[in-house]
Structure 1
Amino acid sequence: MVNPARRTAILDAVIELLATRGLEGVTHRAVDEGAGLPPGSSSYYFPKKAALLIAGSEHLAALLGKDCDELQVSFAEIAATDGMDAAVRHVADELVSYADESRTLFLARMELTMAAARREDLADVGTLLTAAAQRPIRFFLQLISEGREDVPIETCAGLIDGIGLMYATGQGPKPTIDQVEAVFRSVL
């Protein structure tokens, strides 16, 4: 019998392990320990590591989607009350805050995306996570460009991911609101 709370604990542990130990650190034993569950729990739900990673990526995409939905609502509220410039600044501020508050999600996404490039059994994971990561950028750029079709969404997402990756791995400074806002405006 599937216990939704137990399944979620397993998938949360997968994301944490991906962020802290990398792909090789995700073992059934480590997941069980990380989730605080008895040995064998994760292999009951996901007998193979690939299944565990695919389910982890789907869980991660859902978490990113929830964050995106919340950001879209706050963006719309600020745009309606304070104007588009304030809303763009709000999005930049949220992305900068996200660099610290959601570092685990970011690193897990990077780890899974890299694994998808190397492993055929995870190929769809890269597509799923890239779409989830680009969704808020696509939404905001289309709004601030007034629906232009030629907006380089992939370029913007790549720039923001690069800035985030440098910071998350200790290779660069924390992104600033002005920096992220400049990325949005420069691609327009």
Structure 2
Amino acid sequence: MSTQKESRRTAILDAAIDLLASRGLEGVTHRAVDQAAGLPQGSTTYYFPKKAALLAATAHHLAELLEKDCEDLQVGFAEKVASDGMDAAVAHVAGELVAYTENARHLFLARIELTLAAARREELAGVGDELTAAARRPIAFFFRLISEGRTDVPIEACAGLIDGISLMYAIGQGPKPTTDQVAQVFRAML
């Protein structure tokens, strides 16, 4: 795919993520995405003739963004362990997750919207699993490191707790998570 086409496709998918976060699933129309991306009318339809194809591609793009964030977290964790030790690294990861809840709220809300849609729409089967795996990857990675390879660590329970705390904040139904709160969840699971 040419650079211009790839750039336009990425602009469409980024706009769809923003619309999912701000307007929900029903707010994502081809026309709305064109407008949000600053593209001529019909651009989104050219790349994604059906809404299901647009949503599936948006989910894959979102999973890639979440994976990149995970890689950045892994590097930061490794550097923190090397320079300041494990306790500082736990606090660092907790702080990064709290900052992510604030700074990447639109990605979190878009993930929830797409995951809910996947549970209700057959044409989006697998989307929820892909997004959940991408979002939980940093937590699983982190737990494997701090548990020193133990296999009895309840990764899913921890990820669920952190997702729940983040969700309540993202939708305005709970306080902003704190670094101490998230670190306490990590430590309690070990």
Cα distance between partner residues in 2 of 1:126 and 1:147: 28
Indicate which of 75, 86, 89 corresponds to 1:87.
89
Q: Which runs of 5+ in 1 are unaligned?
A: none
Encode CA deviations 1:34-62: one digit per residue, 9 max, x unaligned: 00000000010000000000000000000
Encode CA deviations 1:72-96: one digit per residue, 9 max, x unaligned: 0010011011101100100000011
Cα distance between partner residues in 2 of 1:157 and 1:76: 20
- After TM superposition, the score normalised by the length of structure 2 is 0.97
Q: Which residue of 2 aligns with 1:113?
A: 115
Q: Which residue of 1 aligns with 2:57?
A: 55
Q: Which residue of 2 aligns with 1:132?
A: 134
Encode CA deviations 1:102-124: one digit per residue, 9 max, x unaligned: 00000000000111111111121
Identity of aligned residues (%): 73
Q: Which residue of 2 aligns with 1:7?
A: 9
Cα distance between partner residues in 2 of 1:151 and 1:36: 46
Cα distance between partner residues in 2 of 1:13 and 1:77: 34
The one-letter amino acid of 2:160's match is G
Question: Following TM superposition, by how much is the alpha carbon of 1:187 offset from its aligned partner in structure 2, in angstroms?
Answer: 1.1
Cα distance between partner residues in 1 of 2:74 and 2:142: 8
Q: Which residue of 1 aligns with 2:26?
A: 24
Question: Following TM superposition, by how much is the alpha carbon of 1:159 offset from its aligned partner in structure 2, in angstroms?
Answer: 0.3
The list of structure 1 runs, each at least 4 consecutive aligned residues, that deviate by more than 2 angstroms after superposition, is: none
Cα distance between partner residues in 2 of 1:152 and 1:31: 39
Cα distance between partner residues in 1 of 2:44 and 2:153: 43
- After TM superposition, the score normalised by the length of structure 1 is 0.98
Say which SS state the counterpart of residue 86 (structure 1) adopts: helix
Q: CA RMSD in A?
A: 0.8
Q: Which residue of 2 aligns with 1:36?
A: 38
Encode CA deviations 1:145-168: one digit per residue, 9 max, x unaligned: 111111111111110010001000
Say which SS state the counterpart of residue 41 (structure 2) adopts: coil
